[in-house]
Amino acid sequence: MNTFYGFKLGQTQAFDKKGARLPVTRILAQNISVEQVKTKEKDGYTAIVFKIDLKDRNFKHKQVVFKKEVKIEQSESYKKGDIVSFDQVLKEEDVVQVSGKNKGKGFAGVVKRWGFKGGPKTHGQSDRQRAPGSIGQRTDPGRVQKGKKMAGHMGNVNKTIRGLKVFKIDVAKNELWVKGLVPGSIGELLTIQKT
């Protein structure tokens, strides 16, 4: 098993052995209970299924139960009711990738969303500074192309940050510290995968 789940607690700083200051993210990685073991002998696929209940959490915007499935090696033996803790899956200095839903930023214009330069600020152009400018072409094709960079909904999509290292494991507090920053607001459900 090389995948675990946790909740983002926030960012802080820590110091390595050389005294260098590092940005770290604290993740609450509670023990998970196996609900079911799935096996497809034809494909050689084995996985465990478990529930993540967010109703106990203090995050008001999360009132839901997730059902997650994680592939495991056939040599690993799990049965219903087994408890898996994050320190069985991850160790300090492991390289991981962390996935989660990033912060939603609402409806954003092209300057904020795509980094457009904007129009001229002089010569009477009082309302062009943050406008997208021309979006169409000529008679052919006579329409706006699909995928054109325009104003719209920004954020609230799944993002993965790769190449992060596990900095510290605190079994007593069920906390996992990862070097670097991860997507999402505080309380966001994160997938931590060993690479």
Q: Please tell me what DSSP assigns to residue 74.
A: T
In a domain, 87, yes or no: yes
pLDDT in tens, 148-158: 999 999 999 99
User: Is the pLDDT at 81 greater than 90, yes or no?
Assistant: no
The total domain count for the chain is 1
Burial of 24: CB neighbours in 10 Å, binned 0-12, 13-18, 19+: buried
CA distances from 174 to 27, 124, 128, 130 (A): 8, 60, 52, 47
| Residue closest to 159 by CA, chosen among 193, 190, 187, 180 | 190
Distance CA 93, CA 22 (A): 14
Which CATH number belongs to the domain containing residue 112 in this structure?
2.40.30.10
- 54 strand-pairing partners: none
Q: Is residue 137 part of a domain?
A: no
Whether the per-residue pLDDT at 76 is higher than 80: the answer is no
Residue 124 lies in a domain: no
Residue 147: other Cβ atoms inside 10 A: 6
The stretch 117-123 carries a mean pLDDT of 89
Question: Is 136 contained in some domain?
Answer: no
* pTM for this model (two decimals): 0.81
Q: With 0-12 CB in 10 A as exposed, 13-18 as middle and 19+ as buried, what is 157?
A: exposed
pLDDT tens readout for residues 15-55: 999 999 999 999 999 888 888 888 887 778 888 898 776 65
- Check: CB of residue 191 under 8 Å from CB of residue 27: no
pLDDT at residue number 20 = 94
In a domain, 131, yes or no: no
In this structure, is residue 71 part of a structural domain? yes
Angle at 66 (CA atoms; ends 9, 174), nearest 5 degrees: 35
pLDDT grade for 182, boundaries at 50, 70 and 90 = very high
pLDDT band with cut points at 50, 70 and 90 for residue 61: low
Q: Which domain holds residue 45?
A: 3-119+149-194
Question: Is residue 140 in a domain?
Answer: no
pLDDT confidence band for 59 (50 / 70 / 90): low
Q: Is residue 138 part of a domain?
A: no
Q: What is the DSSP letter of 141?
A: B
The one-letter amino acid code at 125 reads: Q
